[in-house]
Amino acid sequence: MPSDFIRDIINEHNKTERFGGRVHTRFPPEPNGYLHIGHAKSVCLNFGIAAEYKGLCNLRFDDTNPAKEEVEYVESIIEDVRWLGFDWQDRLFYASDYFEQMYDYAMQLIKAGKAYVDDSSADEIRESRGTLTQPGKESPYRNRTVEENLDLFQRMRAGEFEDGSRVLRAKIDMASPNLNMRDPVMYRILHAEHHRTGSKWCIYPMYDWAHGLEDSIERITHSICTLEFEDHRPLYDWFLDELGVYHPQQIEFARLNLTYTIMSKRNLRQLVEKSDVRGWDDPRMPTVSGLRRRGYTPESIRTFAERIGIAKTDSTIEVALLEHCIREDLNKRAPRVMAVLHPLRIVIDNYREGKIEEMEAVNNPEDPGMGTHKVPFSRVLYIEQDDFMERPPKEFFRLAPGREVRLRYAYIIKCVSVVNDKAGKAVELHCTYDPETRSGEAGSSRKVKGTIHWVSAEHALKAEVRIYDRLFTVENPGDVADVETVLNPHSLQTVTGYLEPSLKSATPGGKYQFERLGYFCVDAKDSSPEKLVFNRTVTLRDTWAKIAKKL
């Protein structure tokens, strides 16, 4: 069980019986965009804590702003939370289900002389709010009678007034050093169609007013949110105390930041709208749907969420940790296959034309229980262009003129000649094989420096392979004024890959390790049996790349 300041607080509450030993959290997204990895952190935290303490966690849509919210988003959020592996049973709630009760509570506050209808314009309210260093000024409407406020508020609800003409405000303290306490707006008039309540309402509650009530109504014990709401906690507490209702504890933690990644919904939406990516679920997006399509597993994301920890310090996690988590998971479960993405044709001169052998390949060296499968071998093969160099440095131990290398699960071959094109680029290799060295047989114990992967040209399956790189060229794209300027133009490279024939039966979402290259998955949207499409999830650790870089 992880240890962090939130669990410390819960342990303390359990000790003092503040909530009678109960633990009940909630994940409260606003349905105005797709969930991203930062939300996943919160989902794992809230549902994870509930599970650890044998408590409950609700899924609740904070749908108080009809102007920005859509059912498409609620559907995607439900799918994503479920995919991450969490269950809210029958506790799927919507803030909009509580509108009537919130209205009653507002009437109660008005009757207590703690809220008033303000006829000021938005501009006037902003100007009278004061500044960070100067107190605000009280509204001329602040001291209306309770009767007048009641009447006006009822008429606001009845639709008698235009958008923006009036608001309901809490009467707190215009001189408070905490701006949130300077008579915050509780309701605004919005004649807008709500995705659930239709046109039933034309006044909508503001976050600060609504959120605590939602938590209170659901008997939440620990209302976990991000740091920027720290200043709002006094207001959260004020509303609940003035109403005298059940009062959860709000706790704030630092949101997730990732290197080379943007997390704000605004920026993510911009990428989608400007077609910098192919939608919210583009595999380059840090959205849960993007990661899923990219080939990330729920387990890897949960592990990641656990490893990054929970704290109040603003921090930025290196994206390498996320990549480590998916490699670690896929290493244990992904079957190994061979695929050549940048083919170089080789002919084994001394291998009889038309001869075909079935080589036995291990499905996963980490798990012998996964068995083996056959791969056809023949005279003409493809190997990776990177696995051959005409003038290799001494650190390179793959194929080169006159050098030997092992073909994975097959024979040791030697390169005897190179065919170059006009530009001098190697386009075909002629090799000989050593018949004594077939994998698994007596002579196969002979050692050579390198082993490379291959596919038989005549048996190869062609597929579209999408190779992804980071979306941004800088570590902190979120700090840049316009993210368009730091987009990586090479974040997607599409190639035709040559795959071993066993992949014929690959189904959408299927995850594989292409030996020596990385983990790849069948694209869930664009792949079909006629035209397979693979996404590269993540590369394997590449020691050679590091060496080559230093040369």
Chain positions 91 to 130 lying near RNA, rule: CB under 7 A, are: 120-122, 125-126, 129
Polymer length in residues for the chain: 551
**Alpha-carbon distances, residue 85 vs 6, 23, 263, 297 (angstroms):** 22, 20, 22, 10
Cα–Cα distance for residue pair 8/113, rounded to 1 Å: 38
Which one among 278, 324, 345, 373 touches RNA, defined by CB under 7 A? Answer: 324
207 counts as binding RNA under rule CB under 7 A = yes
Query: How many CB atoms are located within 10 Å of the residue 505 CB?
Result: 8
Residues of span 384-423 touching RNA by CB under 7 A? 395-398, 406, 408-409
Catalytic hit among 255, 333, 374, 414: 255
451 counts as binding RNA under rule CB under 7 A = yes
Which residues touch 451 (CB under 8 Å, ≥6 apart)?
405, 406, 407, 408
- DSSP H helices, 224-264, are 233-243
452 counts as binding RNA under rule CB under 7 A = yes
Structure tokens at 79: 């799918």
DSSP strand pairing (343-348 vs 426-434)? parallel
Catalytic hit among 265, 293, 403, 438: 265
CB closer to RNA out of 64 and 502: 64
Active site residue 391: no
Residues of span 241-270 touching RNA by CB under 7 A? 254
Q: Which residue, 328, 318, 261, 336, is CA-closest to 297? A: 328
CB closer to RNA out of 341 and 524: 341
Active site residue 255: yes
Which one among 41, 157, 188, 536 touches RNA, defined by CB under 7 A? Answer: 188
CB closer to RNA out of 87 and 140: 140
CB closer to RNA out of 137 and 324: 324
**Alpha-carbon distances, residue 307 vs 260, 472, 538 (angstroms):** 19, 24, 19
Give the type of residue at 387. Answer: D
CB of 417 to RNA, least distance (A): 21
CB closer to RNA out of 76 and 120: 120
227 counts as binding RNA under rule CB under 7 A = yes
C-alpha count within 13 angstroms, C-beta hemisphere, residue 397 = 9
CB of 229 to RNA, least distance (A): 6
**Taking CB under 7 A as the rule, which mask of x and - marks residues 41-80 in contact with RNA?**
---------------------x-xx-xx------------
CB closer to RNA out of 228 and 458: 228
Q: What does the DSSP 8-state code read for residue 397?
A: -
Which one among 439, 473, 476, 488 touches RNA, defined by CB under 7 A? Answer: 439
447 counts as binding RNA under rule CB under 7 A = yes
Crossing angle, helix 207-217 and helix 233-243, to 10 degrees?
Answer: 60
Cα–Cα distance for residue pair 207/217, rounded to 1 Å: 15
Piece of 207-215, 348-356, 457-465, 520-528 that binds RNA (CB under 7 A): 207-215
Piece of 33-41, 98-106, 443-451, 482-490 that binds RNA (CB under 7 A): 443-451
312 counts as binding RNA under rule CB under 7 A = yes
CB closer to RNA out of 512 and 524: 512
Which one among 331, 385, 432, 476 touches RNA, defined by CB under 7 A? Answer: 331
Cα–Cα distance for residue pair 179/129, rounded to 1 Å: 8
Residues of span 289-308 touching RNA by CB under 7 A? 307-308
CB closer to RNA out of 245 and 319: 319
CB closer to RNA out of 405 and 506: 405
8 counts as binding RNA under rule CB under 7 A = yes
DSSP strand pairing (454-456 vs 451-452)? unpaired
309 counts as binding RNA under rule CB under 7 A = yes
377 counts as binding RNA under rule CB under 7 A = no
What are residue 360's phi and psi, to 5 degrees? -95, 125
Structure tokens at 464: 């579209």
Q: Which residue, 82, 63, 87, is CA-closest to 73? A: 63
Catalytic hit among 7, 26, 30, 60: 30
Active site residue 265: yes
Query: How many CB atoms are located within 10 Å of the residue 504 CB?
Result: 10
Which one among 17, 90, 273, 314 touches RNA, defined by CB under 7 A? Answer: 314
438 counts as binding RNA under rule CB under 7 A = yes
Under the phi-then-psi rule, with left for phi > 0, alpha for psi from -120 to 50, and beta for the rest, what region is 215? alpha
Helix (H, G, I), strand (E, B) or coil at 73: helix
541 counts as binding RNA under rule CB under 7 A = yes
Query: How many CB atoms are located within 10 Å of the residue 161 CB?
Result: 18
Dihedral, 238, 243, 249, 252 alpha carbons, nearest 10: -40
Which one among 19, 116, 204, 239 touches RNA, defined by CB under 7 A? Answer: 204
Cα–Cα distance for residue pair 233/227, rounded to 1 Å: 10
Which one among 138, 366, 469, 526 touches RNA, defined by CB under 7 A? Answer: 366
- How many of the chain's residues bind RNA (CB under 7 A)? 95
Question: What DSSP string describes 260-275?
Answer: T----HHHHHHHHHTT
Which one among 72, 228, 358, 484 touches RNA, defined by CB under 7 A? Answer: 228
Residues of span 160-179 touching RNA by CB under 7 A? 163-167, 177-179
CB closer to RNA out of 413 and 463: 413
Q: Active-site positions?
A: 30, 255, 265
